[in-house]
Homo-oligomer: A and B are copies of this chain.
Amino acid sequence: MSDLLARLRARRWRLTAQRRVVAQVLDGDHVHFTADEIHARAAALLPEISRATVYNTLGELVAIGEVLEVSTDGRAKRYDPNAHHAHQHLVCDSCGTIRDVHPSVDPLAGLPAAERYGFTVSRVAVTYRGLCPDCAARSAADPAADSAPARAKA
C-alpha cells in the first residue's frame, strides 16, 4: 500500500503536497475514516489543505479503485484504504465500531440466477450488524440506554 504514490505517478497524477498527505493519512491504520476526519488529519500535516481538495482527491482515488467507499449508516461515507483485498464489514449498532470480516463463501454466489432479473451483477456489499462485546456487556448491565449509536469509531 505504501507504493500508492508510485501507482499514482504511473497514472500521470500531479503529485501535489495535498495529495501526498491524503495518501499518507489513508496509509496509516486500516480504519474507515469519513472525509472530514481525513481532512482534519491531513490538515494536521498541511494546515492549509482545503475540504474541497480532500473530497476531490478521495473521489478520484475511489474512481481508480485505490480506495473504497463504505456507507454503513445513513451518515457520512467512510473511505476504506483496504481496496485490494475483498472483504465485508461488521458494525456495532450501539457504538458504530466497524471491523473488516471475511465471509467463508463468496456472497455473490448466494444470489440465484432466477433472482437476478437480467442484471449484470458485479459486486456485493454485506454489512453484518449487532453488538460488539463492550456494548453487549454495557447493555446487559444497564438495559436502558440502548440503540443510541454514538459516532462510529473505526
Q: Residues of A at under 8 Å CB distance from B?
A: 69, 71, 73-74, 77, 90, 92, 99, 101-105, 107-108, 110-112, 115-133, 136
In the complex the two chains form, is B120's CB within 8 Å of A128's CB?
Answer: no
Copies of this chain, whole number: 2
Q: Which residues of B contact A127 (CB under 8 A)?
A: 124-126
Residue contacts A-B, CB under 8 angstroms, 24 given: A69-B74, A71-B71, A71-B74, A74-B77, A90-B115, A90-B121, A101-B116, A102-B115, A103-B111, A104-B110, A105-B110, A108-B128, A117-B133, A118-B132, A119-B131, A119-B132, A119-B136, A120-B136, A123-B128, A123-B129, A123-B130, A124-B129, A125-B126, A125-B127
